[in-house]
Structure 1
Amino acid sequence: MQPTPTADLTALLAGDAVAATDRALLTYYDDATGERTELSASALGGWAARTAGLLRQGCQLGIGDRAAVLLPPHWQTAAVLLGAWSIGVAVSFRSFAVGGLKPVGPGNEEPLEAVFVTPRRLDSWLEVVPAARHRFVLGLAPNGALMDEVPTGYRDYLAEVSSYPDNIVEPGPIQRTDVASPDGTTFREWGAVAHEIAAMLDLRMGDRLLVDVAEHEEPLKWLLAPLAAGASVVLCANLDHSGLDARIAAEGITRVL
Structure 2
Amino acid sequence: MSIPAIELMSALRSGHSTSPRLTWYGPDSERVELSGRVLDNWVAKTSNLLQDELDAEPGMRLRLDLPAHWKSVVLALAAWQLGMEVVLDAGEAELLATGAPGSLPESSAFDAVIAVPLPALAMRWPGELPAGVVDYAAEVRSHGDVFMAHGDPEGAARAIISATGAAHPHSGLLSGFAATHDAGVRLLVQAGDGLEAALVQSLGAWNSDGSVVLVHPDVEVTDKLRNDERVQGK
If the TM-score is normalised by the length of the shorter chain, which range does it land in?
0.7 to 0.9
Q: Which residue of 1 aligns with 2:143?
A: 164
Superimposed CA distance per residue, residues 128-173 of structure 1 (whole angstroms, 9 cap, x where no aligned partner): x331111111111122432221431322111121211111334852
* Residue from 94, 112, 116 that aligns with 2:97: 116
State the AA in 1 paired with 2:23.
T
Partner Cα distance (2:210, 2:157) in 1: 26
Superimposed CA distance per residue, residues 59-105 of structure 1 (whole angstroms, 9 cap, x where no aligned partner): 122111121111111111122111111111121013xxxxxx335xx
Q: Which residue of 2 aligns with 1:84?
A: 79
When normalised by structure 1's length, the TM-score is: 0.78
Q: Which residue of 2 aligns with 1:214?
A: 192
2:230 equivalent to 1:252: yes
Q: Which residue of 1 aligns with 2:91?
A: 102
Q: Which residue of 2 aligns with 1:131?
A: 109
- After superposition, residues 164-183 of structure 1 pair within 5 angstroms as 164-170=143-149, 172-181=151-160
2:174 equivalent to 1:191: yes
Superimposed CA distance per residue, residues 168-208 of structure 1 (whole angstroms, 9 cap, x where no aligned partner): 3348522321222378531123322234x22xxxx222111
Which segment is superposed worse, 173-182 or 134-143?
173-182
Q: In 2, are the aligned partners of 1:14 and 1:41 still within 8 Å (CA)?
A: no
- Counting matched residue pairs gives 227
Q: CA deviation at 1:212?
A: 1.8
Q: Which residue of 1 aligns with 2:215?
A: 236
Q: In 1, are the aligned partners of 2:63 and 2:91 still within 8 Å (CA)?
A: no
2:25 equivalent to 1:25: no
Q: In 1, are the aligned partners of 2:186 and 2:213 still within 8 Å (CA)?
A: yes
State the AA in 2 paired with 1:56.
Q
* Residue from 51, 63, 68 that aligns with 2:46: 51
SS in 1 for 2:168: coil
Partner Cα distance (2:187, 2:30) in 1: 18
State the AA in 2 paired with 1:19.
G
Identity of aligned residues (%): 24
Q: CA deviation at 1:51?
A: 1.0
Q: In 2, are the aligned partners of 1:50 and 1:166 still within 8 Å (CA)?
A: yes
Q: Which residue of 2 aligns with 1:98?
A: none
When normalised by structure 2's length, the TM-score is: 0.85
Which segment is superposed worse, 220-229 or 160-169?
220-229
Partner Cα distance (1:171, 1:232) in 2: 30
State the AA in 2 paired with 1:86.
Q
Inter-CA distance 34–145: structure 2 relative to 1 (3 Å threshold): farther
Larger RCO: Structure 1 or Structure 2 (Cα < 8 Å, ≥ 6 residues apart)? 1
Q: CA deviation at 1:18?
A: 7.5
Partner Cα distance (1:251, 1:239) in 2: 18
Structure 2: gaps spanning 5 or more residues: none
Inter-CA distance 247–16: structure 2 relative to 1 (3 Å threshold): closer
